[in-house]
Amino acid sequence: FAERLTAAYGAEKARAILAAHRHEAPVDFTVKADPALWAERLGGIVLPTGTVRVERLSANVIDLPGFADGAWWVQDTAASLPARLFGDISGKRVADLCAAPGGKTAQLILAGADVTAVDTSKNRLARLKQNLDRLGLTADLVQTDLLDYRPAELFDAVLLDAPCSSTGTVRRHPDVPWTKTMADVEKLA
């Protein structure tokens, strides 16, 4: 992993990236309403995107206030940006492709869209449904390979956050340098 970083970015930047990976990542929450209230309750801050960021959790996520009530979900602030880029989608038909675990799906629903969430994995789609149920949200769920998907009518917008190499998530998933290979990355190209 270090060798690939050095080849891609040079020795100095590679060292800086590796040093950053040694620090625990903050946890970001997308809230359904009132980010300031949830920042106070969770002991965090409100980022300019409206995301609530907590540097260190005081408990397991499921034990935090608001989890069981569906007031928020864990979603990295960077992952929340694509859904925000659509602007006003109220009343629009939107497809969320490769949708699990459902953070962007939830964002689109809260923005007023009629959402169809598509994923190839039965297990991941079940997780998405559990997440939406906890949040009190609904979407049309479709399990299919995208290459075979033929919706009855066109969508007004499509969000595709395709699977990736996970190399940008090392702080949250420190196993990635050992579990992902260049072959994994090349399969996605």
Amino acid at residue number 3: E
Secondary structure letter of residue 176 according to DSSP: H
**What pLDDT score was predicted for residue 93?**
99
Q: Are strands 157-160 and 93-97 parallel, antiparallel or unpaired?
A: parallel
| Mean pLDDT of all residues belonging to the chain | 91
pLDDT in tens, 130-186: 999 999 999 999 999 999 999 999 999 999 988 766 666 666 666 767 677 777 766
**What pLDDT score was predicted for residue 14?**
87
Task: Kindly tell me if the per-residue pLDDT of 18 is higher than 90.
Answer: no
CATH architecture of 76-162: 3-Layer(aba) Sandwich (3.40)
Question: Would you say 166 and 173 are in contact if contact means Cβ atoms under 8 Å apart?
Answer: yes
Q: What are the residue ranges of CATH 3.40.50.150 in the chain?
A: 76-162
Q: What are the residue ranges of CATH 3.30.70 in the chain?
A: 25-74
pLDDT band at 39 (very low <50, low <70, confident <90, very high): very high
- Mean pLDDT confidence for 13-25: 85
**What pLDDT score was predicted for residue 189?**
55
**What pLDDT score was predicted for residue 8?**
87
Q: Considering only residues 71 and 184, tell me which one the structure prediction assigns the higher pLDDT.
A: 71
**Contacts for 40-47: CB closer than 8 Å, 24+ residues apart:** 41/65, 41/66, 42/66, 47/77
- Mean pLDDT confidence for 15-39: 91
25-74 maps to CATH 1.20.120: no
pLDDT in tens, 86-120: 999 999 999 999 999 999 999 999 999 999 999 99
**What pLDDT score was predicted for residue 19?**
84
Q: Considering only residues 25 and 134, tell me which one the structure prediction assigns the higher pLDDT.
A: 134
pLDDT band at 21 (very low <50, low <70, confident <90, very high): confident
